[in-house]
Structure 1
Amino acid sequence: MNRRTFLYSSGMLAAISVSPAMALARHAKPTPGIQLYMVKEDMERDPIGTLKQLGAMGYTQIESYGSDKGMFWGKTNTEFKKIAAGYGLNLVSTHYNPCTLPEFDKLAAQAAEIGMKYLVCPWLGPQKSIEAFKNFADDFNKRGAICKKHGLRFGYHPHDYPYKPVDSQLPIDVLLAGTDKDLVDFQMDVYYTVTEGADPYAYMRKHKGRFKLAHLRDVLTKRLPANSKDESACDMGEGIINFRKLITTGQDTGMKYFFVEQSRFFHETPLQSAKKNAAYLKALKLS
């Protein structure tokens, strides 16, 4: 068993285990949210019609992203908020495209104007030196200060690479240590945390209050071959993740926002997957 396989197996065991204390706790069912990137093709074809369908599925919170039409999909911030609200959807956060600090300041002002809670950096990419991540941490603090000035929060969404060692250090640890907890939060994608062999619960507990948002998708029981072009992702409830434990642990450690984001579709469309995941969250019993 090589290191990567061992870590992956360890992460799976952590993800599916349930502590007795957690089993006795009572928690509120999370407000169902979805990252619009999951249904990006539908949003590009018909953003208003897609929002209508998501609202009918039972989602009440959405997270946007930097699409070709912008995070407000060709509308002004107030127009998009009104359209989404008409279908019972609250725009909580958005991922943004790379931009300068002055451009970011304008985005923060627009987001704050309509009551959004977060601007989230979705991608940094693998780096050759750990110093690059230390510089990113400094940049995050600056963007966090801009968000705070406008009355919202800044977040970072790790993918797989922050859990891969660089210069004998994990970038995720460097980013957590190098950012001001009063300015920078994190959005855990439990899929990447588990498939890279990390323990999502250990991270949430050790860094209590730092992981305020999450992306939800499951991990196949049997991992795909290393050279596979597909990810080992599946719909919630069809893999090894114990979402009851994930959500309750998240709530216990300060997590507030939970967004479905599936990336791999079997015999279904993205919207059909979104509907299936919404139903799973609705039926999930936390206590």
Structure 2
Amino acid sequence: MTHPLAVVCIIGSCISLQLGAALAIQLFPVAGAWGTAAVRLLLAGLILLVLTRPKFHTWTRKQWLGVALFGASRGLMNGFFYNAINHIPLGTAVTIEFLGPLALAAFLSRTLRDAACVALALIGMVLLGVDSWTGEALSPLGVAFALIAGVFWVCYILASKKVGVLVPGQGGLAVALIIGGLLILPVSGTQSLVIFSTWNFVAIAVGTAVLASLIPYSLELVALRRLAPNAFSILISLEPVFAGLFGWILLAQNLSVLKISAIVLVVMASILQTLSASAPAARSRVRSKAA
């Protein structure tokens, strides 16, 4: 049975993350996508570092390596995702990006039902292609960025699960956020410094850091400590729904019938994958009780 607290944490993470992404888009014209992502991660890491005060001087080499991989995957995922939403609508970008976690879930399960999940997701991607061809064209560069972000999303899921085991509390997350921010900061050059030129930009950056990094990552780390990686990949499928909704409400981004259908298909694939992941566990519990 899926842990109720984990489900609540993931729903909260999805809502906070998409609100933060919608807020971050306001900084793209002045700081660029890479600069916005870097500053967001660094601010969130510094805030969490002050709150948690981790004793990282006592960490072992194994713990540091786990945190470094966690931070690198998070930094690259955010950088490429922000570049994606700088070219294509928020809901579309998250739907494409989600192919990464869905592929991970299918790879870890490997059943006939998983093949059906992949087929549904692929049909959804075809619908996005048709919508781009017949309606609002999608930037190929934006699609490529979203796909790359999806690959690093998989890396993040695996690395985050490991850090949750190796490093207690939120200290590992705080250091990982700073590592991720420092990793992608050079890509933005001096453009990211523009954020600190006015208090208005600083306020937006802090809000983005809290909504898009601090809250969702903390909630996801709590969830990952209670879920297997494939189960987490399934439940996080709510993100395309919230991304499409907030993109429509806050950014006035068009949600065509085909885009909505694509999102629904991806979510259906995730629900089907959830049933696939739950069935073996249920059978195992039955056998254990019978024994």
Q: Give TM-score, length-normalised by structure 2.
A: 0.27
More helix by share: 2
Q: Give TM-score, length-normalised by structure 1.
A: 0.28
